[in-house]
Amino acid sequence: MVYAVQGVFGFTNEARRDGVMQNVQTRLSQEITWGETITRALDPMGRMTDPSMVVEVRFTTDAARDSFWNDVIAFMGTGLNGPVSGSYIQQHDCPHDELDASPCVISERRDY
């Protein structure tokens, strides 16, 4: 099984988005991940008209995923510094990445 964290976060300004993205990238530099890791700024799109970012990271253990999950939520902050409405983060359990494929499961999701 592979354990993923996926999210799209909007912030009230680019400086806040860039700070959170830098914290996430620094945190990932200390981690061994599985497959492709995505962290990048997004142009405003759809309901997300604020400066946004996307993250998708896969881990080989749920403990590594849970640790990263908690850190990302802390990096995002709350209130005026937190993510804007329409942002989300989810834990995505990926058995399809293994030889014995079965459907993925979203084990936890937080919408903002």
What are the contacts of 17-22 at 24+ separation with CB within 8 A? 17/41, 17/51, 17/52, 17/53, 20/53, 20/75, 20/76, 20/77, 21/53
Asked which of 45-49, 65-69, 77-81, 104-108 is least confident by mean pLDDT, the reply is 45-49
pLDDT in tens, 86-96: 899 999 898 76
Residue 1 binned pLDDT confidence (cut-offs 50, 70, 90): confident
- Mean pLDDT, rounded, of the chain: 88
pLDDT in tens, 35-61: 889 999 987 655 567 899 999 999 999
Amino acid at 68: F
- Give the domain ranges of the chain: 2-111
Domain 2-111, classified CATH 3.30.70, yes or no: yes
pLDDT in tens, 29-38: 988 899 889 9
Q: Residue 105: its pLDDT value, please?
A: 87
